[in-house]
Amino acid sequence: MSLIKQSGIYVFGRTLPAGIAVGAVAVYTRLIDPASFGRYALLLASAVLAASVGFSWLRAAAFRIAAGHGSELEPAFAHTVGLLFAGMAVAVCTVEYVFLRLTIPAADPSSIDLAVVATVVSAWNELNGAMLQARLSVIAWGLLNFARATCALLSSLGLIALGFKTNALLGGFILGNCTALISVGMWRSAFSGSFDRDLFKRIFLFGWPASATAAVSQVAPTFQRYVLTAAAGAGAVGVYAVSQDFALQSMSVLIGSVSLAGLPLAFKAKDLGGHAALMVQMRANARLIFAVGFPAAVGLAVLAGPISEVLLGHRFQSGAGTIIALISIATLLACLRTYYFDQAFELEYETRPQAVMALISTGVVIATTLYFVPRFGALGAGYGALLTAAIGLTMSVVWGPRVLRVPIPWRSCGKTTLATAGMVATMLAFPRHGAVYLVAAGVAGFAVYVAISAVTRPTVMRDRLAGRFAWRDR
């Protein structure tokens, strides 16, 4: 299956769930006050941080090993991974519960309990999704995402109707992630396997830097939300969280989808085809990531104001447009690092530099948050996120070539930049308010981007058309 075809399936598998999530935000911000949403956002960020610290090492290593070996999970592999997950679940839940009771003493105890449960179920869902990606089961992966998003929305709305607020969103999140049980059959071979100590060592040595890297990506929003709560209250957290999550999810859907299609192909090229095959695949990955991510981030930043007016309830709109713009660009930079430049370390099984860079990024997050948030509130958190992402990408670009020099297709990036400039000029030509403007500007801008891209890439378009006509001839 080609990179483009797999990317299309991944985009569909993430676009529909993301659309449901966006619709959910529009509904939640009209049914729940910013303070209740802010408390939910703080607890959920804590849960996701705990999942990143406790389980990312296992998920990253399991994905890397499974992606290079084939379809079915071997008994020893499934048993070892399953046992490690269970052990980590007990440890993480214990530490997280104590931490939340100490750091948020005013929180409803039932909300803390739900946050702890959310940690485990989200980690299990992510692990199952990673195994489906490694096996190139893209359709099953898309169905899993769709089921999770749908179940989370319906469950949350039902709980809101019953009078819950913060707990309604936490409960919906938990029930949505429980849909991973539909893929439990994938682990049936675990019952016939045994614990493999050598495999455990391999998983741990490869994976622990990945946990550090994943943790820093969650330290930023979590630490920011704690500081923002202290500086401006739960209501400010609610406004920031809604804006941040919308921009983050929107960008992650596009960049993450095309990247998830290319990563297993790059691992296979490295393991089976050698350096030349790897460079060809990485160059293709880079072209696609930038061609999708750059115009998406710029377009979202340009339309951020109208998006906040149309999407969010009136209590959540103050400063939301600026936050969406800042987080869109920050997410682009973070995704370029995670999904492309950091692959130099993972392809060579040399992930310790990622841990060092994660530590540095953590320091940047803390410093920028403490400086910007007390001065600018929710906007300060956006400034800090952008600066942290820029420094993180710079470190990866500079350090990565010492391990593996990944190609940068400058010519293709230049064409994408030109097409994006045309897209922005088109968007700015429309009026600046209302849903009609938003749709019209988005459609027109996208059309101009595609047209300029086609003109500047005649060979690609000719090859694509020739392939389509050849298929029809057969």
Structure-token pair, residue 206: 């490869």
Rounded CA gap, 279 and 215, in Å? 29
Q: Name the more confident of 335 and 433.
A: 335
Kindly tell me if the per-residue pLDDT of 470 is higher than 80. no
pLDDT at 471: 33
Domain boundaries, given as residue ranges, for the chain:
3-408, 409-474
Mean pLDDT of 209-216: 69
Unique residue bearing structure tokens 């981007």: 449
- What is the SS3 assignment for 431? coil
End-to-end CA distance of the chain: 19
Closest CA to 453 of 416, 407, 414, 400: 416
Q: How does DSSP classify residue 434?
A: S
Rounded CA gap, 276 and 181, in Å? 40
Rounded CA gap, 13 and 249, in Å? 13
Kindly tell me if the per-residue pLDDT of 155 is higher than 90. yes
Kindly tell me if the per-residue pLDDT of 214 is higher than 50. yes
Kindly tell me if the per-residue pLDDT of 259 is higher than 70. yes
Unique residue bearing structure tokens 């045309």: 422
Q: Name the more confident of 471 and 431.
A: 431
Rounded CA gap, 141 and 67, in Å? 14
Report pLDDT digits (tens) over 2-42: 555 555 555 555 677 777 888 888 899 999 999 999 999 99
pLDDT at 117: 96
Rounded CA gap, 393 and 390, in Å? 5
Kindly tell me if the per-residue pLDDT of 126 is higher than 80. yes
Report pLDDT digits (tens) over 99-113: 999 988 778 899 999
Structure-token pair, residue 83: 């046992």
Phi-psi region for residue 243, left (φ > 0), alpha (ψ -120 to 50) or beta?
alpha
Kindly tell me if the per-residue pLDDT of 462 is higher than 70. no
pLDDT at 65: 77
Kindly tell me if the per-residue pLDDT of 412 is higher than 50. yes
Report pLDDT digits (tens) over 49-85: 999 888 888 888 888 777 655 555 678 888 888 899 9
Phi and psi for 404 in degrees, rounded to 5?
Answer: -155, 125
Kindly tell me if the per-residue pLDDT of 133 is higher than 60. yes
Element (H, E) at 158: helix 138-161
The percent of residues above 70 in pLDDT, for the chain, comes to 89
- Residues 326 and 382: beta-carbon distance below 8 Å: yes
